[in-house]
Amino acid sequence: MMDIREIKSIIESLLFVWGDPLTVEDIANILELNEDEVTQLMEEIIDDFDFNRRGLRIIKANSTYQLSTRPEHFQWIRKLNHTKPNKSLSNAAMETLSIIAYRQPIIKSEIDNIRGVKSDRSIETLMEKNLVMELGRLERIGRPIIYGTTNDFLRLFSLESLEDLPDLEEMVERIDEEFDIEE
C-alpha cells in the first residue's frame, strides 16, 4: 500500500496531465481506492494548496476536480498571453447567461421574454464557449430546446454547484442601495 503523500502526489499528477476535469470515480478507479477515500484526499489536497498559497488550486465542480491557476495571479499570467485576444463575453451574453443560470431549465422564448430581445446569438456564443448546453426538449408544440449551464460555467465562476450562486434578491437589494434606486 502506498503512503498518503504518494497517493496525493499521484492525484496531483493525474489532474495536471489530464487538464480536463476528472471525476471522483475516475480517480478512484485509477488508484483502486473507494470514492469516499478519494473525496477525503481531495479535500485535504485542496486545503493544503490553499494553506500553502500554491500557485495552483484545485477547482471542484459537482463531483469533478480540475487544476487551475489562482485568479489573484491573473495580472501576471496575462503578461504571458499578451498576444492572445481577450474573448470576454458581451453584456448581452452575460445577461443571457445570468438568466439561464438562475432560471434553468429554461427555453429560449422565456429568455427572450425576460430580456425583451432575441437571444439567439448570445445563446450560440455561450454554447460555443461551453458555458451553456442543451438539456433536452420540452414536450409541447414545437418541442423547444431546454437550456442549462455546464460544469465549465461552475469552474469559470468558482462555484462548486448551482446552490453556490449568490442569492438573486440580495444582489438586487445591494444594487438598489448602492445606486440609490427607488422602485
Q: What is the pLDDT, as a whole number, of residue 176?
A: 72
pLDDT at 27 over 80: yes
Instruction: Return d(Cα 127, Cα 111) in angstroms, integer.
Output: 15
Domains of the chain, CATH where assigned: 4-73 (1.10.10.10), 91-178 (1.10.10.10)
CB 149 within 8 A of CB 132: yes
CA atoms within 13 A on the CB side of 68: 21
pLDDT over 70, % of the chain: 93
pLDDT at 84 over 50: no
pLDDT, tens digit (0-9, with 9 covering 90-100), for 137-176: 999 888 999 999 999 999 888 888 999 898 878 777 777 7
pTM as predicted: 0.60
Helix axes 120-128, 108-115, angle to 10 degrees: 120
Instruction: Return d(Cα 36, Cα 40) in angstroms, integer.
Output: 6
